[in-house]
A and B are shown apart, each in its own frame.
Chain A
Amino acid sequence: MTDRDLLQAGFRYAYSLANRHHDAEDLVQEAWVRISALHGSVPNKSLLFTVIRNIFIDQYRRKNLVIIESLEGAAEPSALDVELEFDVDSRVIDKALNTLRPEEREAIFLNVVEGYTAKEIATLTDKSRNTILSLLHRGKQKLLQQFRQKSDDDRNLA
């Protein structure tokens, strides 16, 4: 993977956390500089993701901007039992993703885009596998709900 590919991957991961272009750019830039200063180069994607994550947590979780939603009582989830029956516009996806918690977006991104398993995401984010499955399930359910609502609204308007 070239440095450019690494940066783009880091940017997309940062975007999944921040869901704003400028914030994601700031996150990946700060992480890139920190790692370069420490190691002389950025050795792998895993380290880049970890540093981006730490910076994000420093900046946002300490400000209580991340709402901690309890996962207690969540049924044993399966992230695979949600399906979409129609195509969705990217702007609608962006808007819907913005309503998700960063943890949900992060889990979905790592699973769907990076191809990590729930167990791997759990290791990376220091959470249990069940928590990751819950985040994936809840996040996708929320997205589906919004896409269907938007589709119904569009149909009613037509």
Chain B
Amino acid sequence: MDKLDKSIKNHYLDKRLSADALDRMLDKGHQIAQEKSSEKSGVDGFFRASGLTRLAVRQWRASLVAVFLFMMVVVAQSYYFQRGVSDMVLAEIAMNHNKHLDVEFPYNDYESLRVAMNRLDFSLIAPVSLPPNFVLVGGRYCSIQGKLAAQLKVKNSDTGDVSTLYVTALTDKLKKIDAERVVYDNVSIKLWQDQGHFYGLATDA
């Protein structure tokens, strides 16, 4: 290996995730894996307790899956799709909020921020429904469902709490998400749509 290759290799090998970032991602992965596992073992456990053979359990499981899929497609397709997208967005917002990343563009007015964040394919404007006591601190790029988005820090001037406001252009997928306020992963999240934009306001619960 020549010097150039060695230099490049060493350069990349020096790039590492912090221990905190590693732990956070592993925890999230384990949490999701456990949820999947408990769903699976719950069904298996029920049938095995009934004295059925492994093959019978598999057949039952396959039948159940088929029935479930049929019901899901025929009866509740749109609802589950909407809910799935909504959950994915909530998970994404909660995870990003919990990272507490610093802003990359420290501007306290939307005009300056709009100029600085020129990669956005939508106009960055203050949402009408955001209470006036929420003061802009700055922003950085992020993504929501693979779409480039802005992640803004806003400070509640009454309480001093800092929230994260996610903004992206309203896509067909995001249009299906109803306005709602939920607590997800210890983060209070409000989702809504306004003037062709999709917003998510995340605050520590």
Contact = CB atoms under 8 A, between A and B. Distances in A.
B121 interface: yes
Q: Please classify the interface of chain B as helix (H, G, I), strand (E, B), loop, or mixed, using the class held by over half of its residues.
A: helix
B8 A87 contact: no
Interface of B: 1-5, 7-17, 21-22, 24-26, 28-30, 32-33, 36-37, 91-92, 95-96, 101, 104, 119, 121, 140-143, 146-148
A4 B22 contact: yes
Nearest to B143: A59
Contacts of B146: 55, 58-59
Contact of B29 (A16, A33, A65): A33
B119 A65 contact: yes
Nearest to A16: B12
A40 interface: yes
A55 B25 CA distance: 17
Contact of A140 (B4, B29, B104, B147): B4
A95 to B, nearest CB: 11
25 contacts: A7-B17, A7-B22, A8-B16, A8-B17, A24-B15, A29-B24, A29-B28, A30-B92, A32-B29, A33-B91, A36-B29, A36-B30, A36-B33, A37-B32, A40-B33, A55-B146, A59-B143, A84-B3, A88-B7, A93-B8, A97-B8, A108-B8, A112-B5, A112-B9, A112-B12
B28 A112 contact: no
A42 to B, nearest CB: 7
A94 interface: yes
Contacts of A93: 7-8, 11
A75 B95 CA distance: 47
B32 A28 contact: no
Contact of B32 (A16, A30, A36, A108): A36
Interface hub of A4, A23, A33, A86 (most chain B Cβ within 10 A):
A33
Interface in A42-97: 42, 55, 58-59, 63, 65, 82-88, 90, 93-94, 97
A108 B25 CA distance: 27
A42 B29 contact: yes
Nearest to B142: A26
A28 B25 contact: yes
Contacts of B16: 8, 11
A137 B143 CA distance: 33
A104 B18 CA distance: 26
Given A8-B16, A83-B4, A63 B119 contact: yes
